Amino acid sequence: MRISAPQKCLLKRRCQHGCHVEGNRESRTRSRGRCSGWSRQSELVRGFIFLCVTLLYMDAKPAQGLDIPVTAGKLKRAEELFLKGNAYLQDQDFGNAVLSYREALDADPKHADAWTNLGNAMSQAIPYSENQKKGLFNEAVKAYSTAVQLDSQHCEAYFNLGVLYHTHNRLDMSIPNYEKAIAIDPNHYDAISNLGSAKHKKGDLDGAVDLYQKSIEMIESGGTIMSDKAGTLSMLHYLLGQALSSLPPNRCLGSPCPERAAQQFRTSLRHNPNNEEAKHALSALISDPETTSASAAYVKSLFDEYAESFDKALVADLNYRAPQLLHEKVSEFVGSKPLPVFGVLFDAGCGTGLCGPLFRNMTRTLVGVDLSGEMIRKATERGLYDELVEGDLVESLNQYGASEGKHKGTYIDIVLAADVFVYIGALEQIFSACAASLNKGGIFAFTVERLEAPDAEAERAQVVNINEAPVSQEDYDRGWKLRFTGRFAHTRPYIAALAEEHGFRVHVHQDIVPRRDNGVDIQGHLLILEKN
């Protein structure tokens, strides 16, 4: 059993519009969670207002005044303020939304819908610090819990509580809340699909398959009205394909699970031909040699979503060590030269900047480039890089040593790429861009996953992955293969030949374990090349 890529976010929050009892779904205002994203500038403004508002209200007692009778005038006022809060929430003005809901609740502390939407505003706000993040989470939990305390049939409050726990990876808390929402409303397809996603994340693949299928059937049967039906169906078919592709091949009825998974990815693409996750998953499942690298859109979408949890997921959970291993080997290579050894260090695919603290003192100028804007944002928070660029690494490299442009006449002293070429199969363009942009004697240091000869790979596949397509001699001769995991692996001879062809001397070519995955060591290799 295997869950390879981090799961695409499927989580929606539902916002109450005073219609939770028998409401018709079209009339509900809805808000999406962090998945949707918004511009950084307006985010900062909202964040600032929100900070002020939450500082005012952080200690408010949610259940205060629940027993006090409320006059008709106050009920009317509460409703008006509640609707005002909804308008702010719809505009993603979380600070004013919180303020309005709080005022509504001062007038009528039993307004369960206002508690629910207060929870939505709190949980979607952008925190400024880890402490504030915790505070917001706790406040949102209190708000939803007060709603269900006031109305035990408040389906959306249970659902939103499930989403909140889910987004904080508290799956054991999220699952029972989705189940409560579904018990109240068995047609709640969002709760059904999210429950599928939570079970998928927990490794209950059979449970996930059943729930995704159920949700798809409900949506396809036409009984539901939704804004982006094709997009939702595309994502659900993709997730169903992911779960099926991880099951033992003979578990599925009719045809082997990988074939059923491929069908699901194709259906996903029929609903949305631009679903990059489904495209990449299909390429990986059939190990398509035509796919020479992951698309920029796929990489961006994957890492924009992954950025927040990347450091914890990789370093703490997967024992990720590529930056440390590169640092050890580069330090050994430069020996006792005085610091800073380098003029320009180019951190290709810098991600959240894990190489930054290790290499900062070795270089006068530290440059980081990454396709994912969210990864760049996390790297910026470190305050260690002189320049951070959101873009493709080859395009950025090509600006060095060029005859015009910002980096005209400047050459790089060291290019680092820690765990980046797992998203790129054919490395020819990268080698040629490095050769052109590095100073003579410059260093190209990187890690890759290792592709072994067919026999050795067959042995590995038995341990690691039940559904991996066998490695053919053709794959090995090509020098790289897109694995079932969605990552590329490269052979030793391919890398060595590229180095020679592009004028690099190989100083280190060493087997490493850059990280673990599902309890198994990933086999890789690390290279230190010097430009002749």
Ligand X SMILES: C[S@@+](CC[C@H](N)C(=O)[O-])C[C@H]1O[C@@H](n2cnc3c(N)ncnc32)[C@H](O)[C@@H]1O
Q: Nearest approach, Cβ of 364 to ligand X (angstroms)? A: 21
Q: Which among 178-186, 187-195, 347-355, 358-366 is the span making contact with ligand X, rule CB under 6 A?
A: 347-355
Of 20 and 490, the one with the shorter C-beta distance to ligand X is: 490
φ, ψ dihedrals at 11, nearest 5°? -85, 125
Task: Among 147, 330, 371, 433, indicate the residue that binds ligand X (CB under 6 A).
Answer: 371
Q: From CA 527, how far away is CA 139, in angstroms rounded?
A: 49
Q: From CA 199, how far away is CA 171, in angstroms rounded?
A: 8
Note whether 418 binds ligand X by CB under 6 A. Answer: yes
Of 10 and 354, the one with the shorter C-beta distance to ligand X is: 354
Task: Among 372, 437, 465, 491, indicate the residue that binds ligand X (CB under 6 A).
Answer: 372
Of 99 and 330, the one with the shorter C-beta distance to ligand X is: 330
Contact 488, 449 (CB under 8 A): yes
Question: Within 403-444, where are the H helices?
Answer: 428-437
Q: Which among 15-23, 56-64, 101-109, 369-377 is the span making contact with ligand X, rule CB under 6 A?
A: 369-377
Question: Within 247-347, where are the H helices?
Answer: 257-271, 276-285, 296-311, 322-334
Note whether 350 binds ligand X by CB under 6 A. Answer: yes
Size of the site for ligand X (CB under 6 A): 20
Q: Nearest approach, Cβ of 428 to ligand X (angstroms)? A: 14
What lies within 8 Å, CB to CB, of 167 at 6+ separation is 9, 11, 33, 34, 123
Q: Nearest approach, Cβ of 414 to ligand X (angstroms)? A: 14
Note whether 369 binds ligand X by CB under 6 A. Answer: yes
Of 285 and 355, the one with the shorter C-beta distance to ligand X is: 355
Q: Nearest approach, Cβ of 335 to ligand X (angstroms)? A: 24
| Crossing angle (nearest 10°) for helices 229-246 and 276-285 | 30
Note whether 393 binds ligand X by CB under 6 A. Answer: yes
Task: Among 196, 323, 425, 486, indicate the residue that binds ligand X (CB under 6 A).
Answer: 323
Neighbours of 462 (CB within 10 A): 10
Contact 367, 380 (CB under 8 A): no
Q: Nearest approach, Cβ of 15 to ligand X (angstroms)? A: 32
Q: From CA 184, how far away is CA 528, in angstroms rounded?
A: 60
Q: How far is CA 373 from CA 299, 370, 380, in A?
A: 11, 7, 10
The per-residue b/e assignment along 208-232, b for 16 or more CB within 10 angstroms, e otherwise, is bbbbbbbbbebbeeeebebeeeeeb
Note whether 479 binds ligand X by CB under 6 A. Answer: no
Chain residues binding ligand X by CB under 6 A are 299, 303, 322-323, 349-351, 354-355, 369-372, 375, 392-393, 418-420, 423
